[in-house]
Amino acid sequence: MANDARYGGPNKMLALEKIRILLANHPRNLLLFEMAVLTQATIPALLSLRVSDLRPLKVGDLLPLAPENSAPKNTLLFTHTMKSSFDRLVLETNPNDTDFIFKSKKGDRPLSQTSVSRIFRKWIAESGVTGYRGLRELRSGVHAGRAADSSPAEDSSESGHSLPKIATLSRQEAVFQELEKAIISGKIPPGQKLITEDIARQMGVSRIPVREAMGRLEARGFIRTRPNWGSIVNELSRENLKEILDLRLMLECEAVAKAAPLVSEATIRQLAAAHNQFANARAENDADRLLGANREFHFLAYQDSNAPVLLNLIKQLWDRVSPYYHIMFRQSLAPHPTVGVDYHDHIVAAMRERNAEAAKHWLKADLIRSAEFVLELFDLHQKRISINSKN
């Protein structure tokens, strides 16, 4: 995969993903990376942005740059990852509106272009990326691929899944986001074959951004590609699922134990709010909202652990099982457990007390009971698939 000719030598999508993973828990750095690589704005223009410039933006809006910036508009858009990173940055640092977003450590001024070049070389080295020496080469690789993406393909509704048209976001980023969301939510189920031409027709783009998105999905372990067969959404066996749940138990207990003594008041408030959302979704039996609130609750409980590699591993494990959760919870005839609400109450209380042992105890209880329930649902789901295949 690393030298797949479709991607022009060293796989640029894999290179970008490695750096994203390195920066996943550093919102300012991830925001700088996304803006510097995915837009064609000049670096000085990006460095001049202040907090007030980005606060009002929604995903898909144009970045508020000087009128003389002549880059194509579709390369100057505020993406989902940019907004998420900016929101986290504001939450964690509570900056003033007049602060530069990419402020230097030396006084109230932005980073210099030289500093940015040095920072990118450092990220490339630390992430183990090969084939790129700095920001300029990363940018040229991405935008050369974008320039090759010419006319969109025609629409079609022949595939078994439904994907939205791509309108404003850069095609490469938007196609990846929609495919990732469809897989994680179970709308494109495990075992489904992905046909590049069909996806391109549905989304109204050419095949190039679809191939690039699928390369990125394969790098993250969502799909696998076989010669002369194509790409398939990865499936899990019961043994795979149990192994992932066991790994989650070990890693997440460690994460919450690290986070509890360090947790901020802001995180505790967010944790309590996510718990309320979870309880409301449980009361209304809204499976998708329940799963979203549960995920938000857990990652908030871990976010102050100061352990970015650990958190990234946990996220990868959650993403691998998420399709099954959404499919099984929607289909399940089994009563949903209510004990999770009680466990979350105890976890919030333990975090307020900065009690690592108590937080770890109640999280372990929550994860064990949840794993038992998920494995029960998985068995029911597999039985249903077996019966349907015989009919």
SS3 state at 350: helix
> What is the separation of C-alpha 90 from the centre of its chain, rounded to a whole number of angstroms?
19
pLDDT tens column, 191-221: 888 888 888 888 888 888 888 888 888 877 7
For residue 348, what are the contacts with CB-CB under 8 A and spacing of at least 6? 268, 271, 272, 275
Give CA torsion, residues 7, 12, 15, 17, to 10 deg: -90
Rounded CA separation 220/191 (Å): 16
Q: Beta-carbon neighbour count of residue 228 at 10 Å?
A: 4
**And the tokens for 273?**
């709010």
> What is the separation of C-alpha 73 from the centre of its chain, rounded to a whole number of angstroms?
25
Query: If one looks up domain 238-390 in CATH, what number appears?
Result: 1.20.120.530
Rounded CA separation 116/138 (Å): 13
pLDDT score for 38: 82
CATH architecture of residue range(s) 171-233: Orthogonal Bundle (1.10)
Rounded CA separation 368/349 (Å): 19
Helix (H) or strand (E) holding 225: strand 223-226
pLDDT score for 25: 78
Predicted model pTM: 0.53
Task: Show me where the domains of the chain are located.
Answer: 5-148, 171-233, 238-390
The answer to whether residues 60 and 78 touch, using CB atoms and an 8 Å cutoff, is: yes
pLDDT score for 66: 66
What percent of the chain stands above pLDDT 70? 80
Rounded CA separation 245/249 (Å): 6
pLDDT tens column, 288-307: 788 888 899 999 999 999 88
Residue where the block lists tokens 């670096």: 43
230 DSSP β-pair partners: 226
Buried b (16+ CB within 10 A) or exposed e, 350-372: bbeeebbebbbbbbbbbbeebbe
Q: Which amino acid is at 303?
A: Q
**And the tokens for 299?**
């990652």
Which stretches of the chain drop beneath a pLDDT of 70? 1-14, 66-75, 141-170, 328-340, 381, 384-391
The answer to whether residues 161 and 188 touch, using CB atoms and an 8 Å cutoff, is: yes
